[in-house]
Amino acid sequence: MGALVARTVPSVKGSVCYGLDEISKGAGARGRLTKLRKAIAALKPSYAGLAEVFDKLALSHVFRTPAVRQQMVAHLNASWFKPASRAAYFKGHPVSRIYAEGVLKALDLSLKRKGAPLPIDAWWLLDSKEVQLISHASASQVTLIIHTPRPKLPPKAKPKAPWILGKTAEAHVTRRQGRKVVTKNVKNLR
């Protein structure tokens, strides 16, 4: 999730999404996901400290530089998880609770089967009327959609890519453009 998303970008794989994806794969995935699940559940009912839990148990798995992660945690707290923050994107929405309980559902679906957990594929989709997390489970993966209104860009803000973190994730958007139908890679949208 990022702060400045261009108006033409419909979906993003930000830092938390990328971290969830990566900790759900490979050797030790069940232990990492179980640890994350317990840590988030322990924050009930306020879910205060959610950004710090994501940092410790997901972000640190993919972002090795502490200063970079500190910036991410500060952004998550100010814009997403602290409703009293002046920089909060979605005032009036209990974002930390919705987010935490949505991630808990995705973790439960991933950990439901015996053996290796189902990998998680998490995405942030913009332009919803409300903040909601949607989990889909199939035989091969759990898809977590973080669906939110589009944050308002500050005046003179310059959106900054990359919209998609990770080397293997890919997203395309097909839509009408004038009289044509075009498909574009989200990584290349400006």
User: What are 148's strand-pairing partners?
Assistant: 126
pLDDT band of residue 147 (cuts 50, 70, 90) is: very high
Q: Running DSSP on this structure, what letter comes out for residue 118?
A: P
Q: For 53-74, how does the pLDDT look when each residue is reduced to its tens digit (9 = 90+)?
A: 999 999 999 999 999 999 999 9
116 CB-side CA count, 13 A: 13
Report pTM.
0.93
pLDDT band of residue 163 (cuts 50, 70, 90) is: confident
Q: What's the CA gap between 141 and 139, in Å, rounded?
A: 6
Percentage of the chain beyond pLDDT 90 is 81
Q: Is 125 a residue whose pLDDT tops 80?
A: yes
Mean pLDDT score, 102-130: 97
Q: Where are the domains of the chain?
A: 11-188
- The predicted pLDDT at position 1 comes to 42
